[in-house]
Amino acid sequence: MKLAKKLSAAALAVMMAATVSACGDSNSNDTANSEETTTAATEPGKELEESQKEQLASLTEDDQFSVKELSNKTIKWLAHYDINPSNGAVKGPELELFEQKYEGKVEYINADWNSRYTKLASLVMSKESPDFFPADDMDTFPKGAIKAMFQPIDDYVKLDSELWKDSKGYCDQFMFNGKHYIAVIYPEPNLVCIYNTKTIEDNSLDDPAELFENDEWTWDKFQEMCKSFTNPEEEKYGLDGYWYANAISQTSGKPLIGLENGKLVHYLDDPAVAKAQEFMYNLQKDNVCFDRSSNNWSTRGSGDTGEGLGSYLTLFIPTGLWAIQNTPDNVKLIGDVEAGEIMFVPMPRNPSGDGVYYMGSRVHGYNICSGAPNPEGVAAYLDCCQVAYQKASNIGEDVLKNDYKWNDKMLEMRKKCYELCAEHPVFDLQNGVSNELDAAMQDLSQATMITGGGATTWTEAVGSFKAKVQWLLDQSNNNVATEPTK
């Protein structure tokens, strides 16, 4: 039976090049790479085609684009990746709009992943704040508001305007003391299941994309394929990467940490989560995961070798689409995209669940930093993001197809992933509450799948961590807004 559920049209225009520009190693707080990056990439990026620039130049107030003169045309961006394109990546249409309409410029302040918040705090305290910061990694809220690292966006972003009306509901989910702290452009998939089609063919396995299309992409099929492929003597493993535990857990339809009526809550006792964790524990017992404990707790190659995908030694890598939204040369360690080797699907669904493919999700959005010298400039850039998303989504698809050499199957699957994300997002706040909770959840979230013989049942894991998690949530809830979010 074909996948008959009618998906929401809300995400049909989601092919925006803001997500095409690779975000770098997002969500990698558990990686072993702590070396600080101190210099920006030196290889140039690529400009948009002239026809694409002309399309953007033609946008006017009729497209909800009201441009005002900026007294300060430079906005300062602190992140572990640069909005300005480099290394062959294509400029995003939102940056092109900002440059065209405002004569704007984004000044990049480079920060290593592990030092981002330390650097931000130092700059804020010394009154040398950057202007804005990425919210995409779901680690800025609510701790950034509680610790006054970020300021409300309400005075600068017109959430009640026609331009922002479709995003306001998502912004409403990230409120502190009645104010909005994340300017959400749109929700997007956080973790998808990436695979190499040659590996599938060479091992006579069913194509996950076809299984998904036929509504047969389930935990059972996923487990069967991982077990069939795994052969430690040949260094072949069904799973590698840093995020497969969270990716599978979120197919339950519940985050581990969420927000209800303005309060942080955990779902550790939820039956759907327990069911997913039981599946994860059984999967780990099958020894289908690359043993990171034998490799200094790093993935195979620590991500620098495609973690076995391009060498046909790994079957599945649950990670973000950012990993393959780049030039063929930059993704060659995952596979030959021009030969059609790279493909992906949503994570599989629970075969005994409600039939929904739940999508681990995040927001594509931004925070305005406390003490930002140019919040008006940031607001102008954010308006450019919205206009580009709503009026120039075709440019993102053109970039994927023409510059990054994606085929039609990849484009169609990407659209389906965004549609599922719009209908069934699972936003997990486990990394956005506090450093103490982040550390606890780091252990708890992978407790049932930790390699090296250390895995435990979910019942045992919850027994060990639940009291601490609840205490940490209670501490943060003393500061979180009490009025319900919409």
**Is 178 domain-assigned?**
yes
**Is 4 domain-assigned?**
no
Cα–Cα distance measured from residue 151 to residue 124, given in angstroms and rounded to the nearest whole number: 11
Q: pTM of the entire structure?
A: 0.85
Q: Give the pLDDT score at 63.
A: 77
209 and 124 share one domain: no
442 and 374 share one domain: no
**Is 424 domain-assigned?**
no
Handedness of CA 103, 109, 111, 115 (dihedral sign): negative
167 and 271 share one domain: no
Report the SS3 class of residue 403: helix
Does the structure show a pLDDT above 80 at 268?
yes
Does the structure show a pLDDT above 90 at 96?
yes
Q: Give the pLDDT score at 1.
A: 36
Q: Give the pLDDT score at 202.
A: 98
**Is 310 domain-assigned?**
yes
Closest to 20 in 3D by CA, of 88, 114, 107: 88
165 and 123 share one domain: yes
Does the structure show a pLDDT above 80 at 2?
no
Task: Find out whether 404 and 327 touch, Cβ atoms under 8 Å.
Answer: yes
Helices 50-57 and 93-102 cross at an angle (nearest 10°) of 60
**Is 160 domain-assigned?**
yes
Q: Give the pLDDT score at 21.
A: 39
What is the CATH classification number for the domain harbouring 341? 3.40.190.10
Q: Count structural domains, the chain.
A: 2
138 and 212 share one domain: no
List helix spans (H) across 355-453.
375-391, 393-398, 408-423, 435-444
Q: Which residues pair with 364 in a beta bridge?
A: 186
17-29, pLDDT tens digit by residue?
Answer: 334 433 444 334 4
Half-sphere exposure of 374 (CA within 13 A, CB side): 19
**Is 329 domain-assigned?**
yes
116 and 247 share one domain: no
Q: How many CB atoms lie within 10 A of CB 65?
A: 19
**Is 413 domain-assigned?**
no
44 and 101 share one domain: yes
385 and 277 share one domain: no
Domain that holds residue 170: 9-186+363-404
166 and 202 share one domain: no
334-355, pLDDT tens digit by residue?
Answer: 999 999 999 999 999 999 999 9
Helix, strand counts (H, E) of the chain:
16, 15
273 and 300 share one domain: yes
399 and 270 share one domain: no
Q: Give the pLDDT score at 452.
A: 81
**Is 168 domain-assigned?**
yes
List helix spans (H) across 314-374.
none
In sequence order, the 6+-apart residues with CB closer than 8 A to the CB of 202 are: 312
238 and 334 share one domain: yes
